[in-house]
Amino acid sequence: MDTRDSIRPIGPIVIDIENITKDYVMGEEIVRALRGISLQIHRNEYVAIMGPSGSGKSTLMNMFGCLDTPTSGRYEFNGKNVASMDDDELAAIRNREIGFVFQTFNLLPRSTSLRNVELPLIYAGMDPEARQERATQALVDVGLGDRIHHKPNELSGGQRQRVAIARALVNNPSIILADEPTGNLDSKTGEEIMALLEHLYHRGNTIILVTHERDIAAHARRTVRLRDGIVESDERVSVAQLESVAVS
């Protein structure tokens, strides 16, 4: 592993999960979505979570995103025990520590790019001037400095996803959680979005990418494969391998 990644110092642990399970009750049946998963994700890692549908990757992503709490097991986010938090505490964690990027962008349709990006800052209680400045900067950072007053229906798919990424970034979260971020984009635009994520990674962000596409996952430096609710494999990929994938 003589790549430039291998010489990057490994940062402190952001996500630390140990033996977590998640059961869903569907009618009379209990579906065991996660059957005991342990993972550690450090600051400034770029991790892809892969797996076929039904493997539990969506459930795991909901755990990472503090949208849901595990049935059993330990989950610490930046050293704080998430498993026992109530709804409002989880909301505060999501607001400050996690930036979501969704497959379907999830922008507010009638609000401008600026107002969409401002939203997390409103929930954080920031002053109007400061939040406008921060949101504008975030939009400039993703290359949309000239689109701040456009509404989602006036933007292309790639631009919408950039707005969503700006929104995910604006609170300086500990992790960016991207769930199939290119799933609704054509491959060229998808590559542009992946390049943007790559750029963010190099700026020091921690990125967790959930995908079922191999060539999208190949952008990450570490791939966790799930199957039937357990970790099937967890490997670090070199940039050399990454480049060979890109060439092929």
Partner 1 sequence: MKRLLYELAESWKIAVAQMRSNMTRSTLTALGVIIGIVAVTLMGTAIGGIQVGFDKSMSIFGDDVLYVGQWPWKNVDDWWNYRDRRKIKTEYADELNRMITMTPNSNLAIAIPTSSVYRSVKYTDSEVNNVLIRGTVSDYIITSTFDFKEGRFFNELESRGGANVCVIGYDVADGLFPSTSPIDKSVMINGQPFKVVGVISKQGSFLGLFSLDSIVVMPLPAFQKYFTAKSEAEVLVKVKDKTKLADAKDELAGLMRRVRGLPPEKKDDFSINEQQALKSTLDPIKNSIAIAGLFITGLSLFVGAIGIMNITFVSVKERTKEIGTRKALGARRRTILLQFLIESTALCLLGGIIGLTFSFLMCSLIGVAFPSFPIRFSSELVFVSMFVSVLTGLVSGFAPAWTASRLDPVTALRYE
Mark the segment that binds partner 1 (CB under 8 A) among 121-129, 141-149, 227-235, 236-244.
121-129
Q: What is the DSSP letter of 212?
A: S
Residues 185-244 that bind partner 1 (CB under 8 A): none
Q: Does 23 participate in binding partner 1 (rule CB under 8 A)?
A: no
Q: Does 128 participate in binding partner 1 (rule CB under 8 A)?
A: yes
- Give the strand pairing for 222-227 and 46-50: parallel
Report yes or no: 44 and 8 within 8 Å, Cβ to Cβ. Answer: yes
| Cα–Cα distance measured from residue 75 to residue 20, given in angstroms and rounded to the nearest whole number | 7
Q: What is the DSSP letter of 95?
A: H
Q: Does 68 participate in binding partner 1 (rule CB under 8 A)?
A: yes
Handedness of CA 177, 33, 22, 227 (dihedral sign): negative
- Of positions 57, 94, 160, 221, contacts partner 1 by CB under 8 A: 94
Nearer to partner 1, 46 or 64 (CB): 64
- Of positions 65, 73, 158, 181, contacts partner 1 by CB under 8 A: 65
| Cα–Cα distance measured from residue 211 to residue 99, given in angstroms and rounded to the nearest whole number | 17
Q: Does 96 participate in binding partner 1 (rule CB under 8 A)?
A: yes
Handedness of CA 80, 87, 183, 22 (dihedral sign): positive
Mark the segment that binds partner 1 (CB under 8 A) among 30-38, 86-94, 132-140, 235-243.
86-94
Binding site for partner 1 (CB under 8 A): 62, 65, 67-68, 87-88, 91-92, 94-96, 100, 102, 106, 108, 110-111, 119-120, 122-128, 167, 171
